Amino acid sequence: MSTVNIKIEGIPYQVENGLTILEAAKACGYEIPSLCAFNHGECNAASCRVCLVEATGARGLVASCVYPVAEGMEIKISSQKAVEARRRSVELLLSNHNKNCQQCDKNGQCELLHVANVTGARDDAFAGVHSETYLDTLAPGLVRDTSKCILCGRCIARCNNAHALGILGFENRGFKTFVSPAQNRSFAESPCIQCGQCVNVCPTGALMEHSEIGLVDAAFRAGKHVIVQAAPAVRAALGEEFGYPVGTPVTGKMIAALRRLGFERVYDVNFGADLTIMEEGTELLHRLTEGGTLPMITSCSPGWVNYAELQYGDLLPHLSTCKSPHQMQGAIIKSYWAKEKGIAPEDIFVVSVMPCIAKKYEEKREQEKVNNIPDVDAVITTRELARMIRKSGILFNRLPDEEWDQDIMGDYSGAGVIFGVTGGVMEAALRTVYFKLTGKEKEEIVFTEVRGHEAGIREASIDINGTTVNVAIASGMRSARVLLDEIRAGKSKYQFIEIMGCPGGCINGGGQPYVRSCFLPEEDDNILDTYKEKRAQALYSEDERQVIRQSHNNPQIIELYEKYLGEPNSHLAHELLHTSYAAREKFPEK
């Protein structure tokens, strides 16, 4: 690593060569306010003009987010000229911004408000008319409110990097510019997969999850039996909302909080994950031994399912017919559990806490209903849960650690836990398939070949009793499409593929806490590179702590089949736990 000598405010430092001024300053302990710059050049438009500083060797001020450091460079962050310029860029943004901060769900995590504070922006400077704005609330997953948009372009970059989809772009020009899907369509009328990756990076309240907190409140008011189930990835990230270091699992406190919010039962979706493995593992074995459509592809990520229906309608037979874990568990709650408790399914309201916003779309699908009753009634994200907790006055950090409700569906295996990270479903399924094919447990439980925490493709060949199973894993549609195109071309060598919508899997889902280095002074400079790994680690360590680590060894799962479902893939299992898919128009008639 070559280094260069620079000075910041006259103080000498040695920094890595090739860094931008912004990155170098961070390494030296300075946070230069910035908005459009994101994640080491993931978005490097240099368009917000907030991060301006003085640097020797440049004419005028430079955008520190793109300007590289050089030997001998002297940087002034706090010169009057730079301070004034930064403040004025922010003031101009504010002059065209819908400043109803009190009603904005982003308040507290809004980077615009943050830089406004830091730069000392005057509230009424440069007042004038606002651009025409648009509000899109049609999609179940996410809401776009251009009155809050500062046109930083981070969402556009993220959608492209994650999926090569290019859903979002700039429309019009000059003062009339706004960000939207093509032709100012709704997300719901475009090939958006409602993954929420763009929401994760939006600095303001312009892109937000479509909140369902109101639905939950209404269910409580209506006196329903409100049951909550939380997905594995939530516990690995919720703590970040309350100041815990990234990667701190907060399972016990989360359960305690859910109880205090008034939920009648607090269940872990891991039970549903174990159930999914039983069904999906059996389905895979069937396909392998009876000549079904191969490779079989996992179906528990609704962002991915959306993508398949919109872009690869011809490959839908490759998808496992299994519902996703929380949908399965919802169906079981409204059938088996309801029967055991003597409660009518109509009186039950199932809330899923998810790291995901595509689940909000999934939950409303016609194919996710049994006897016209939806399996799940509301999906709230990790972020929405944090908001509910704060709103209720619960001091999260002071909560005791509590346990899941144990009745009927309280047990879970470590296999279910790792669903939350890319490769996890594959690993969980392999543990069970191995057992089914060999009649014994694999000694080395961990399938390291399939582990990871980033986007991109991983593959492995697993030898099970002389049968080689070729598997591949992809997360983010940019990598998934490589595997899909191989299948389309008849060149796929795999039998089983796991695909997750979000890069890195659910730990990096579109409903997870925002990771913003400006709000995380305690974390390392590279937190935007390392948070996925840290969250993944939280899940792997929970797997290791479990006594039962294979889905088929979960006693309550065994009991569920014995008492109710019969065999995996039985007729009743199909009715409750399996679903179907249909190709969709990318740009339906409005």
Partner 1 sequence: MGAFQGLKRALSMDRQAVIDEVLASGLRGRGGAGFPTGRKWQFAYGSQSDTKYVVCNGDEGDPGAFMDRSILEGNPLAVIEGMMIAGYAIGAQNGYFYVRAEYPIAVNRLRKAIAQAREVGLLGENILGTDFSFDCHLRLGAGAFVCGEETALLNSLEGKRGMPRPRPPFPAVKGLWGQPTIINNVETLACVPYILREGAGEFASVGTERSKGTKVFALGGKVNNVGLVEVPMGTTLRELIYDIGGGIPNGKKFKAIQTGGPSGGCLTEEFLDEPIDFDNLVAKGSMMGSGGAIVMDEDNCMVDVAKFYMEFICDESCGKCTPCRIGTKRMLEILTKITEGKGTMHDLEELEELSDTVKTNSLCALGQTSANPINSTIAHFKDEYIAHIVDKKCPAHVCKSLMEYHIDPDKCIGCGKCAKGCPANCIERSDYTAPGHKLASMKINTQECLKCGNCISSCKFNAIEKR
Residues forming contacts to partner 1 in the complex (CB under 8 A) are 44-50, 52, 60-61, 63, 66-68, 81, 85, 88-89, 92-93, 95-96, 126, 128-129, 150-151, 169-170, 172-177
Inter-residue contact 237 to 139 (CB < 8 Å): no
Judged by beta carbon distances under 5 to 8 A according to partner kind, the member of ligand SF4, partner 1, none in contact with residue 170 is: partner 1
Which residues 6+ apart lie within 8 Å of 569 measured at CB? 279, 282, 283, 286
Site for ligand SF4 in 505-544 (CB under 6 A): none
478 near 489, Cβ under 8 Å?
A: no
Compute the least distance from the CB of residue 401 to ligand SF4, in Å: 34
| 61 interacts with ligand SF4 by CB under 6 A | no
Q: Which amino acid is at 262?
A: G
Ordered alpha helix ranges (H), 96-236: 111-119, 154-163, 197-201, 213-221, 232-235
Pick one of 33, 140, 153, 330: the residue that binds ligand SF4 (CB under 6 A): 153
Beta strands 142-145 and 168-171 are unpaired
Which does residue 155 bind out of partner 1, ligand SF4, none, counting CB within 5 to 8 angstroms by kind?
ligand SF4
Write down the least CB distance from residue 177 to partner 1, Å: 3
Fill in the amino acid letter for 586.
Answer: K
Q: How far apart are CA 500 and CA 312, in angstroms?
A: 15
Which among 111, 122, 349 has a CA at the least distance from the CA of 220? 349
- For residue 394, the tally of other CB atoms under 10 A from its CB is 16
159 is an interface residue for ligand SF4 by CB under 6 A = yes
d(CA 559, CA 284) in angstroms, rounded, equals 22
Among 4, 24, 115, 198, binds ligand SF4 (CB under 6 A): 198
Give the interface size with ligand SF4 as a residue count (CB under 6 A): 29
Which one of ligand SF4, partner 1, none is in contact with 88 (Cβ closer than 5 to 8 A by kind)?
partner 1
Closer CB to partner 1, residue 183 or residue 467?
Answer: 183
Of the candidates 434, 418, 438, the residue with the CA atom closest to the CA atom of residue 498: 418
Using CB under 6 A as the binding rule, whether residue 204 contacts ligand SF4 is answered as: yes
Q: From the CB of 441, what's the least distance to ligand SF4, in Å?
A: 39
Complete DSSP assignment for 434-496:
HHHHHSS--SS---GGG--SSSEEEEEEEEETTEEEEEEEEESHHHHHHHHHHHHTT----SE
When the beta carbons of 307 and 337 are compared against ligand SF4, the nearer one is 307
Least Cβ distance, residue 514 to ligand SF4 (angstroms) = 11
Say if residue 295 is preceded by a cis peptide, omega within 30 of 0. Answer: yes
- Contact mark string toward ligand SF4, 118..147, x via CB under 6 A: ------------------------x-----
Tokens of 288: 């392998």
Which among partner 1, ligand SF4, none contacts residue 278 (Cβ within 5 to 8 A by kind)? Answer: none
With a CB cutoff of 8 Å and minimum separation 6, the contacts of 222 are: none
Backbone angles phi, psi at 102, to 5 degrees: -60, -35
The answer to whether 257 contacts ligand SF4 (rule: CB under 6 A) is no
| Neighbour-count burial of 356, counting CB atoms closer than 10 A to its CB (0-12 exposed, 13-18 middle, 19+ buried) | buried
| Interacting partner of 159 out of partner 1, ligand SF4, none (Cβ under 5 to 8 A depending on kind) | ligand SF4
Q: Which is nearer to ligand SF4, 173 or 491 (CB)?
A: 173
> CB of residue 458 vs ligand SF4: minimum separation in angstroms?
22
93 contacts which partner out of ligand SF4, partner 1, none, CB within 5 to 8 A by kind? partner 1
Q: Select the residue interacting with ligand SF4 from 51, 82, 143, 167 (CB under 6 A).
A: 167
Maximum separation of any 2 CA atoms in the chain, in Å: 77
Residue pair 308/361 in contact by the 8 Å Cβ criterion: no
Task: Decide: is 192 part of the binding site for ligand SF4 (CB under 6 A).
Answer: yes
Closer of 175 and 587 to partner 1 (Cβ)? 175
When the beta carbons of 45 and 188 are compared against partner 1, the nearer one is 45
Site of interaction with ligand SF4 (CB under 6 A): 142, 149-155, 158-159, 163, 165, 167-168, 179, 187, 192-198, 201-204, 206-207
